[in-house]
């Protein structure tokens, strides 16, 4: 039985090998247009009040290069929020408010949200977006006196914060 490989298959394999070789060479040279990222272990700066951040649900950057973060405080396990337990199990830590704003250098500008008197907070915080043209972020949260504008989109309520 004749088991020759068709010339078209050999040509396709040769072309793929050349393309892979060229692609690898460009990556080694830091090919143009390929973003390079590095972890900055000092960003953000340490949070006040022994705050700890849970699972992050959204991150957005606004027109001022402020970084908005929304996280799930309820995802912290007891060992991560020992000071908030009753009775406290440790001197550290407590859950940070769900919505946190940092400047580009990682300095905390403000933080807010969570259950409170006079409004209901969601059980599951979700998402954060920004507007490219104005310095504001839209984070998913319920209506409250702090809101400058609200819109109801199905089961979620968005609050646009103007600064």
Is 103 in contact with 95 (CB distance < 8 Å)?
Answer: no
Domain containing 136 equals 51-162
Residue-level pLDDT at 111: 93
DSSP code for 25: H
Structural domain contains residue 37: no
pTM confidence score = 0.62
Number of domains in the chain: 1
- With bands split at pLDDT 50, 70 and 90, how would you rate the model's confidence at 75? very high
Cis status of the peptide bond prior to 93, with omega within 30 of 0: yes
pLDDT of residue 122: 73
Over residues 136-146, the pLDDT tens digits come to 555 554 444 33
Cis peptide before 87, with omega less than 30 degrees from 0? yes
Q: Is residue 137 part of a domain?
A: yes
Q: Are 22 and 31 in contact (CB under 8 A)?
A: no
- Determine the Cα–Cα distance for residues 81 and 93; give it in Å rounded to an integer: 5
Is the pLDDT score of 110 beyond 80?
yes
Higher pLDDT, 19 or 72: 72
């Amino acid at each position: 039985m004749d088991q020759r490989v068709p010339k078209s298959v050999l040509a396709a394999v040769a072309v793929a090998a050349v393309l892979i070789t060229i692609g690898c060479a460009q990556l080694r040279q830091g090919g143009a247009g390929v973003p390079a990222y590095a972890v900055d272990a000092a960003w953000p700066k340490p949070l006040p009040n022994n705050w700890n951040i849970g699972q992050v649900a959204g991150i957005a950057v606004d027109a001022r290069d402020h970084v908005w973060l929304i996280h799930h405080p309820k995802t912290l396990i007891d060992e991560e929020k020992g000071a908030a337990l009753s009775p406290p199990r440790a001197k550290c830590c407590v859950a940070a408010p769900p919505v946190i704003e940092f400047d580009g250098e990682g300095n905390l500008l403000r933080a807010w949200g969570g259950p409170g008197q006079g409004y209901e907070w969601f059980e599951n915080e979700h998402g954060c977006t920004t507007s490219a043209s104005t310095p504001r972020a839209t984070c998913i949260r319920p209506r409250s006196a702090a809101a400058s504008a609200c819109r109801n989109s199905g089961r979620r309520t968005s609050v646009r914060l103007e600064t």
